[in-house]
Amino acid sequence: MSELSPQQRIRCMSALVATMAVVSITSSLAWPILSEALRNQGYSESMIGINAAAQFIGIIVVALAAPRIIPAMGFFKTIVLGLVVVAVMLIALPAFRSFETWLLIRFLLGVGNSLLFTAGDTWMNHIVDDRVRGRWMGIYVTVGMAGWALGPLLGAYLDPDTYWPFVCGLLATVVAAVFLLPTRKLDVKLSLSTQGVAMGLATVFIAAPTVLLSSAMFGVVEGAMQSFAHLYTMDILGAQFRQTGYAVIWVGAIAAVFFQYPIGWLADKVSRSWLLIACVLTMMVSIFLFPLLIEGGRGPWWEPRALGLWTVVSVWGGSMGGIFTVGITLLGQRFRDVELVSANAMFSVLFGIGGLLGPFLAGTAMTAIGPVGFPSSLLAVVTVYAVFALYRQFIRR
Protein backbone atom coordinates (compact mmCIF):
# COMPACT_ATOMS: atom_id res chain seq x y z
CA MET A 1 0.00 0.00 0.00
CA SER A 2 1.14 3.54 -0.64
CA GLU A 3 2.73 5.83 1.96
CA LEU A 4 -0.05 8.41 1.58
CA SER A 5 -2.35 9.19 4.49
CA PRO A 6 -6.07 8.42 4.05
CA GLN A 7 -6.77 12.13 3.47
CA GLN A 8 -4.00 12.37 0.87
CA ARG A 9 -5.33 9.28 -0.87
CA ILE A 10 -8.78 10.83 -1.13
CA ARG A 11 -7.33 14.08 -2.52
CA CYS A 12 -5.19 12.23 -5.03
CA MET A 13 -7.98 9.91 -6.19
CA SER A 14 -10.45 12.79 -6.50
CA ALA A 15 -7.99 14.79 -8.65
CA LEU A 16 -7.32 11.76 -10.84
CA VAL A 17 -11.03 11.10 -11.30
CA ALA A 18 -11.59 14.70 -12.42
CA THR A 19 -8.53 14.73 -14.71
CA MET A 20 -9.35 11.51 -16.52
CA ALA A 21 -13.01 12.48 -16.89
CA VAL A 22 -12.22 15.75 -18.62
CA VAL A 23 -9.51 14.32 -20.87
CA SER A 24 -11.96 11.58 -21.92
CA ILE A 25 -13.99 14.28 -23.67
CA THR A 26 -11.07 14.79 -26.05
CA SER A 27 -10.82 11.11 -27.02
CA SER A 28 -14.55 10.53 -27.44
CA LEU A 29 -14.92 13.72 -29.51
CA ALA A 30 -11.96 12.98 -31.80
CA TRP A 31 -12.85 9.45 -32.95
CA PRO A 32 -16.26 10.03 -34.56
CA ILE A 33 -15.32 13.52 -35.79
CA LEU A 34 -12.21 12.21 -37.56
CA SER A 35 -14.14 9.30 -39.09
CA GLU A 36 -16.80 11.66 -40.43
CA ALA A 37 -14.18 14.10 -41.74
CA LEU A 38 -12.49 11.28 -43.68
CA ARG A 39 -15.80 10.10 -45.11
CA ASN A 40 -16.49 13.68 -46.25
CA GLN A 41 -13.19 13.48 -48.15
CA GLY A 42 -14.46 10.37 -49.95
CA TYR A 43 -12.59 7.61 -48.12
CA SER A 44 -14.15 4.15 -47.70
CA GLU A 45 -14.95 2.54 -44.35
CA SER A 46 -11.93 0.25 -44.65
CA MET A 47 -9.60 3.24 -45.18
CA ILE A 48 -11.23 5.06 -42.25
CA GLY A 49 -10.59 1.96 -40.14
CA ILE A 50 -6.92 1.92 -41.13
CA ASN A 51 -6.58 5.58 -40.16
CA ALA A 52 -8.22 4.96 -36.78
CA ALA A 53 -5.96 1.95 -36.22
CA ALA A 54 -2.88 4.19 -36.27
CA GLN A 55 -4.02 5.69 -32.97
CA PHE A 56 -4.05 2.27 -31.34
CA ILE A 57 -0.55 1.47 -32.59
CA GLY A 58 0.61 4.45 -30.52
CA ILE A 59 -1.25 3.06 -27.51
CA ILE A 60 0.47 -0.31 -27.92
CA VAL A 61 3.98 1.13 -28.33
CA VAL A 62 3.76 3.26 -25.17
CA ALA A 63 2.05 0.56 -23.11
CA LEU A 64 4.89 -1.85 -23.89
CA ALA A 65 7.34 0.68 -22.48
CA ALA A 66 5.16 1.72 -19.51
CA PRO A 67 6.86 -0.63 -16.97
CA ARG A 68 10.03 1.41 -17.59
CA ILE A 69 8.54 4.88 -18.21
CA ILE A 70 6.24 5.11 -15.16
CA PRO A 71 8.78 4.05 -12.47
CA ALA A 72 11.43 6.29 -14.07
CA MET A 73 9.27 9.43 -14.47
CA GLY A 74 6.64 8.93 -11.78
CA PHE A 75 2.89 8.97 -12.27
CA PHE A 76 2.48 12.77 -12.27
CA LYS A 77 5.15 13.55 -14.88
CA THR A 78 3.95 10.70 -17.11
CA ILE A 79 0.40 12.09 -17.16
CA VAL A 80 1.68 15.64 -17.79
CA LEU A 81 3.73 14.39 -20.74
CA GLY A 82 0.63 12.67 -22.10
CA LEU A 83 -1.41 15.88 -21.80
CA VAL A 84 1.26 17.85 -23.67
CA VAL A 85 1.42 15.32 -26.51
CA VAL A 86 -2.39 15.24 -26.85
CA ALA A 87 -2.59 19.06 -26.87
CA VAL A 88 0.04 19.39 -29.62
CA MET A 89 -1.69 16.75 -31.75
CA LEU A 90 -5.06 18.50 -31.40
CA ILE A 91 -3.43 21.63 -32.81
CA ALA A 92 -1.88 19.62 -35.66
CA LEU A 93 -5.01 17.68 -36.74
CA PRO A 94 -6.96 20.57 -38.32
CA ALA A 95 -3.78 22.16 -39.69
CA PHE A 96 -2.71 19.07 -41.68
CA ARG A 97 -5.70 17.22 -43.13
CA SER A 98 -4.15 14.71 -45.53
CA PHE A 99 -4.82 11.00 -44.93
CA GLU A 100 -1.11 10.17 -44.65
CA THR A 101 -0.37 13.02 -42.22
CA TRP A 102 -3.28 12.00 -40.03
CA LEU A 103 -1.81 8.50 -39.78
CA LEU A 104 1.26 9.99 -38.06
CA ILE A 105 -0.71 12.50 -35.98
CA ARG A 106 -3.14 9.85 -34.78
CA PHE A 107 -0.25 7.53 -33.90
CA LEU A 108 1.15 10.30 -31.69
CA LEU A 109 -2.32 11.02 -30.30
CA GLY A 110 -2.42 7.36 -29.27
CA VAL A 111 0.99 7.79 -27.59
CA GLY A 112 -0.38 10.69 -25.54
CA ASN A 113 -3.57 8.86 -24.62
CA SER A 114 -1.63 5.76 -23.57
CA LEU A 115 0.65 7.79 -21.29
CA LEU A 116 -2.41 9.41 -19.71
CA PHE A 117 -4.61 6.41 -19.13
CA THR A 118 -2.00 3.75 -18.32
CA ALA A 119 -0.45 5.99 -15.66
CA GLY A 120 -3.82 7.20 -14.36
CA ASP A 121 -5.39 3.74 -14.09
CA THR A 122 -2.30 2.32 -12.38
CA TRP A 123 -2.01 5.22 -9.93
CA MET A 124 -5.65 4.86 -8.90
CA ASN A 125 -5.38 1.11 -8.46
CA HIS A 126 -2.11 1.46 -6.53
CA ILE A 127 -3.42 3.75 -3.80
CA VAL A 128 -6.98 2.48 -3.29
CA ASP A 129 -7.84 0.01 -0.51
CA ASP A 130 -8.96 -3.43 -1.76
CA ARG A 131 -11.97 -3.41 0.58
CA VAL A 132 -13.56 -0.59 -1.44
CA ARG A 133 -11.63 -1.07 -4.69
CA GLY A 134 -14.67 -1.91 -6.80
CA ARG A 135 -16.60 1.16 -5.61
CA TRP A 136 -13.71 3.57 -6.17
CA MET A 137 -12.94 2.14 -9.60
CA GLY A 138 -16.67 2.36 -10.30
CA ILE A 139 -16.56 6.07 -9.45
CA TYR A 140 -13.41 6.50 -11.57
CA VAL A 141 -15.02 4.87 -14.61
CA THR A 142 -18.40 6.55 -13.98
CA VAL A 143 -16.96 10.04 -14.16
CA GLY A 144 -14.72 9.01 -17.06
CA MET A 145 -17.76 7.74 -18.94
CA ALA A 146 -19.44 11.09 -18.36
CA GLY A 147 -16.57 12.60 -20.31
CA TRP A 148 -16.96 9.95 -23.01
CA ALA A 149 -20.66 10.81 -23.25
CA LEU A 150 -20.04 14.54 -23.64
CA GLY A 151 -17.64 14.15 -26.57
CA PRO A 152 -20.13 12.69 -29.11
CA LEU A 153 -22.81 15.07 -27.83
CA LEU A 154 -20.55 17.99 -28.75
CA GLY A 155 -19.58 16.31 -32.01
CA ALA A 156 -23.19 16.13 -33.17
CA TYR A 157 -23.29 19.95 -33.28
CA LEU A 158 -19.77 20.64 -34.57
CA ASP A 159 -18.68 20.64 -38.20
CA PRO A 160 -15.84 18.10 -38.68
CA ASP A 161 -14.36 20.23 -41.47
CA THR A 162 -13.76 23.22 -39.16
CA TYR A 163 -11.36 23.94 -36.31
CA TRP A 164 -14.07 23.96 -33.61
CA PRO A 165 -14.05 20.25 -32.63
CA PHE A 166 -10.30 20.44 -32.05
CA VAL A 167 -10.51 23.73 -30.15
CA CYS A 168 -13.04 22.10 -27.79
CA GLY A 169 -10.72 19.12 -27.32
CA LEU A 170 -7.78 21.41 -26.61
CA LEU A 171 -9.76 23.34 -23.99
CA ALA A 172 -10.70 20.06 -22.29
CA THR A 173 -7.01 19.11 -22.17
CA VAL A 174 -6.12 22.42 -20.48
CA VAL A 175 -8.89 21.94 -17.90
CA ALA A 176 -7.63 18.39 -17.22
CA ALA A 177 -4.14 19.76 -16.55
CA VAL A 178 -5.59 22.19 -13.98
CA PHE A 179 -7.41 19.35 -12.18
CA LEU A 180 -4.18 17.32 -12.10
CA LEU A 181 -2.14 20.02 -10.29
CA PRO A 182 -3.13 18.99 -6.71
CA THR A 183 -1.45 15.61 -7.23
CA ARG A 184 2.02 16.98 -8.01
CA LYS A 185 3.23 16.53 -4.40
CA LEU A 186 1.37 13.26 -3.84
CA ASP A 187 3.21 11.15 -6.39
CA VAL A 188 4.10 7.57 -5.40
CA LYS A 189 7.56 6.30 -6.32
CA LEU A 190 8.01 2.78 -7.63
CA SER A 191 11.26 0.86 -7.94
CA LEU A 192 12.27 -0.46 -11.34
CA SER A 193 11.58 -4.14 -11.92
CA THR A 194 14.55 -6.50 -12.10
CA GLN A 195 12.68 -8.45 -14.80
CA GLY A 196 12.84 -7.44 -18.41
CA VAL A 197 9.75 -5.67 -19.76
CA ALA A 198 8.78 -8.59 -22.00
CA MET A 199 9.16 -11.11 -19.17
CA GLY A 200 7.13 -8.93 -16.80
CA LEU A 201 4.29 -8.58 -19.30
CA ALA A 202 4.33 -12.30 -20.07
CA THR A 203 4.25 -13.16 -16.35
CA VAL A 204 1.14 -11.10 -15.64
CA PHE A 205 -0.59 -12.37 -18.78
CA ILE A 206 -0.07 -16.00 -17.76
CA ALA A 207 -1.41 -15.15 -14.29
CA ALA A 208 -4.62 -13.47 -15.52
CA PRO A 209 -5.38 -14.18 -19.21
CA THR A 210 -9.17 -13.90 -18.92
CA VAL A 211 -9.05 -10.45 -17.35
CA LEU A 212 -6.39 -9.14 -19.70
CA LEU A 213 -8.03 -10.49 -22.86
CA SER A 214 -11.25 -8.77 -21.81
CA SER A 215 -9.38 -5.55 -22.53
CA ALA A 216 -8.66 -6.67 -26.10
CA MET A 217 -12.32 -7.52 -26.65
CA PHE A 218 -13.32 -4.19 -25.06
CA GLY A 219 -10.89 -2.42 -27.41
CA VAL A 220 -12.40 -4.08 -30.49
CA VAL A 221 -15.92 -2.99 -29.55
CA GLU A 222 -14.92 0.48 -28.33
CA GLY A 223 -12.78 1.29 -31.36
CA ALA A 224 -15.39 0.06 -33.83
CA MET A 225 -18.29 1.72 -32.03
CA GLN A 226 -16.58 5.10 -31.75
CA SER A 227 -15.48 4.98 -35.40
CA PHE A 228 -18.52 3.45 -37.11
CA ALA A 229 -21.68 3.38 -34.96
CA HIS A 230 -22.77 6.80 -36.24
CA LEU A 231 -21.85 5.94 -39.84
CA TYR A 232 -23.76 2.63 -39.62
CA THR A 233 -26.81 4.47 -38.28
CA MET A 234 -26.67 7.00 -41.11
CA ASP A 235 -26.26 4.19 -43.66
CA ILE A 236 -29.43 2.49 -42.39
CA LEU A 237 -31.59 5.52 -41.61
CA GLY A 238 -30.19 8.10 -44.04
CA ALA A 239 -27.73 10.99 -43.81
CA GLN A 240 -30.49 13.25 -42.42
CA PHE A 241 -30.29 11.19 -39.20
CA ARG A 242 -26.72 12.35 -38.46
CA GLN A 243 -27.57 13.46 -34.91
CA THR A 244 -29.28 10.11 -34.27
CA GLY A 245 -26.03 8.44 -35.31
CA TYR A 246 -24.06 10.42 -32.76
CA ALA A 247 -26.81 9.77 -30.21
CA VAL A 248 -26.11 6.02 -30.47
CA ILE A 249 -22.60 6.72 -29.18
CA TRP A 250 -23.45 9.22 -26.45
CA VAL A 251 -26.56 7.43 -25.15
CA GLY A 252 -24.40 4.36 -24.62
CA ALA A 253 -21.82 6.48 -22.83
CA ILE A 254 -24.45 8.27 -20.73
CA ALA A 255 -25.87 4.89 -19.66
CA ALA A 256 -22.39 3.76 -18.68
CA VAL A 257 -22.21 6.70 -16.29
CA PHE A 258 -25.13 5.30 -14.29
CA PHE A 259 -24.10 1.64 -14.52
CA GLN A 260 -20.54 1.85 -13.22
CA TYR A 261 -20.96 2.62 -9.52
CA PRO A 262 -23.59 -0.16 -9.06
CA ILE A 263 -21.31 -2.55 -10.95
CA GLY A 264 -18.34 -1.44 -8.83
CA TRP A 265 -20.43 -1.92 -5.68
CA LEU A 266 -21.36 -5.42 -6.86
CA ALA A 267 -17.68 -6.13 -7.51
CA ASP A 268 -17.07 -5.67 -3.77
CA LYS A 269 -19.93 -8.05 -2.88
CA VAL A 270 -19.91 -10.93 -5.40
CA SER A 271 -17.39 -12.95 -7.43
CA ARG A 272 -15.62 -10.45 -9.66
CA SER A 273 -14.80 -13.12 -12.24
CA TRP A 274 -18.45 -14.11 -12.68
CA LEU A 275 -19.50 -10.46 -12.72
CA LEU A 276 -17.08 -9.87 -15.62
CA ILE A 277 -18.65 -12.75 -17.55
CA ALA A 278 -22.16 -11.46 -16.82
CA CYS A 279 -21.21 -8.07 -18.32
CA VAL A 280 -19.82 -9.77 -21.43
CA LEU A 281 -22.94 -11.89 -21.98
CA THR A 282 -25.18 -8.86 -21.48
CA MET A 283 -23.22 -6.89 -24.07
CA MET A 284 -23.37 -9.82 -26.51
CA VAL A 285 -27.18 -9.90 -26.33
CA SER A 286 -27.34 -6.12 -26.75
CA ILE A 287 -25.21 -6.17 -29.90
CA PHE A 288 -27.43 -8.92 -31.33
CA LEU A 289 -30.59 -6.86 -30.71
CA PHE A 290 -29.17 -3.52 -31.90
CA PRO A 291 -29.61 -4.01 -35.70
CA LEU A 292 -33.08 -5.50 -35.14
CA LEU A 293 -34.21 -2.27 -33.48
CA ILE A 294 -32.23 0.38 -35.38
CA GLU A 295 -35.26 1.45 -37.44
CA GLY A 296 -36.70 2.78 -34.20
CA GLY A 297 -34.27 5.66 -34.58
CA ARG A 298 -36.55 7.19 -37.23
CA GLY A 299 -39.29 8.04 -34.75
CA PRO A 300 -39.63 10.04 -31.52
CA TRP A 301 -37.87 8.50 -28.54
CA TRP A 302 -41.12 7.75 -26.70
CA GLU A 303 -42.47 5.37 -29.34
CA PRO A 304 -42.19 1.67 -28.35
CA ARG A 305 -39.66 0.70 -31.05
CA ALA A 306 -37.51 3.75 -30.27
CA LEU A 307 -37.66 2.99 -26.56
CA GLY A 308 -36.50 -0.53 -27.37
CA LEU A 309 -33.57 0.81 -29.40
CA TRP A 310 -32.38 3.27 -26.76
CA THR A 311 -32.81 0.69 -23.99
CA VAL A 312 -30.59 -1.75 -25.87
CA VAL A 313 -28.00 0.95 -26.62
CA SER A 314 -28.03 1.91 -22.91
CA VAL A 315 -27.51 -1.67 -21.76
CA TRP A 316 -24.77 -2.11 -24.38
CA GLY A 317 -22.90 0.95 -23.11
CA GLY A 318 -23.42 0.12 -19.46
CA SER A 319 -22.25 -3.48 -19.76
CA MET A 320 -19.27 -2.47 -21.91
CA GLY A 321 -18.19 0.04 -19.28
CA GLY A 322 -18.73 -2.65 -16.65
CA ILE A 323 -16.19 -4.88 -18.39
CA PHE A 324 -13.58 -2.15 -17.97
CA THR A 325 -14.57 -1.41 -14.36
CA VAL A 326 -14.47 -5.05 -13.24
CA GLY A 327 -11.34 -5.73 -15.30
CA ILE A 328 -9.21 -3.04 -13.69
CA THR A 329 -10.65 -3.92 -10.28
CA LEU A 330 -9.48 -7.50 -10.73
CA LEU A 331 -6.02 -6.28 -11.74
CA GLY A 332 -5.75 -4.21 -8.56
CA GLN A 333 -6.89 -7.22 -6.53
CA ARG A 334 -4.32 -9.59 -8.03
CA PHE A 335 -1.21 -7.43 -8.53
CA ARG A 336 0.84 -4.92 -6.53
CA ASP A 337 3.60 -2.34 -7.10
CA VAL A 338 5.69 -2.85 -10.27
CA GLU A 339 3.65 -5.96 -11.16
CA LEU A 340 0.56 -3.74 -11.15
CA VAL A 341 2.29 -1.38 -13.60
CA SER A 342 3.05 -4.36 -15.86
CA ALA A 343 -0.54 -5.62 -15.53
CA ASN A 344 -2.03 -2.23 -16.42
CA ALA A 345 0.49 -1.89 -19.24
CA MET A 346 -0.57 -5.30 -20.59
CA PHE A 347 -4.20 -4.24 -20.19
CA SER A 348 -3.41 -1.16 -22.32
CA VAL A 349 -1.40 -3.18 -24.87
CA LEU A 350 -4.30 -5.56 -25.40
CA PHE A 351 -6.79 -2.68 -25.49
CA GLY A 352 -4.60 -1.12 -28.16
CA ILE A 353 -4.46 -4.35 -30.15
CA GLY A 354 -8.23 -4.69 -29.87
CA GLY A 355 -8.71 -1.06 -30.83
CA LEU A 356 -6.35 -1.59 -33.76
CA LEU A 357 -8.37 -4.56 -34.98
CA GLY A 358 -11.85 -3.19 -34.18
CA PRO A 359 -12.06 -0.33 -36.70
CA PHE A 360 -10.22 -2.45 -39.28
CA LEU A 361 -12.54 -5.45 -38.85
CA ALA A 362 -15.72 -3.37 -38.79
CA GLY A 363 -14.62 -1.14 -41.65
CA THR A 364 -13.54 -4.07 -43.82
CA ALA A 365 -16.76 -5.97 -43.04
CA MET A 366 -18.88 -2.93 -43.95
CA THR A 367 -16.97 -2.47 -47.20
CA ALA A 368 -17.38 -6.16 -48.07
CA ILE A 369 -20.99 -6.90 -47.06
CA GLY A 370 -22.53 -3.50 -46.36
CA PRO A 371 -23.73 -1.89 -43.12
CA VAL A 372 -24.60 -5.25 -41.54
CA GLY A 373 -20.87 -5.87 -41.29
CA PHE A 374 -20.69 -3.50 -38.31
CA PRO A 375 -22.81 -5.42 -35.78
CA SER A 376 -21.90 -8.82 -37.24
CA SER A 377 -18.15 -8.33 -36.79
CA LEU A 378 -18.59 -7.14 -33.19
CA LEU A 379 -20.94 -9.98 -32.31
CA ALA A 380 -18.45 -12.55 -33.62
CA VAL A 381 -15.59 -11.14 -31.50
CA VAL A 382 -17.64 -10.88 -28.29
CA THR A 383 -19.02 -14.41 -28.72
CA VAL A 384 -15.54 -15.90 -29.12
CA TYR A 385 -14.36 -14.14 -25.95
CA ALA A 386 -17.47 -15.20 -24.01
CA VAL A 387 -16.84 -18.86 -24.86
CA PHE A 388 -13.19 -18.52 -23.77
CA ALA A 389 -14.09 -16.77 -20.50
CA LEU A 390 -16.73 -19.37 -19.60
CA TYR A 391 -14.31 -22.21 -20.40
CA ARG A 392 -11.60 -20.68 -18.21
CA GLN A 393 -14.04 -20.06 -15.36
CA PHE A 394 -15.31 -23.64 -15.35
CA ILE A 395 -11.87 -25.30 -15.51
CA ARG A 396 -10.69 -23.15 -12.57
CA ARG A 397 -13.43 -24.49 -10.29
CATH number at 6-186+193-396: 1.20.1250.20
Enter the pTM of the model: 0.76
Element (H, E) at 308: helix 304-334
Instruction: Give CA angle at 184 (182, 185), nearest 5°.
Output: 95
Residue type, 366: M
User: What DSSP state is assigned to residue 1?
Assistant: -
* Residue range 144-177, pLDDT digits in tens: 777 777 877 788 788 888 899 899 989 989 998 9
* Residue range 322-342, pLDDT digits in tens: 998 899 889 888 887 778 888
Q: Whose CA is closest to 291, among 366, 374, 196, 176?
A: 374
Q: Are 138 and 264 in contact (CB under 8 A)?
A: yes
Assign 195 to helix, strand or coil: coil
- pLDDT-based confidence at 2, cuts 50/70/90? very low
Q: Where are the domains of the chain?
A: 6-186+193-396
| Residue 217 reports pLDDT greater than 70 | yes
pLDDT for 192 equals: 62
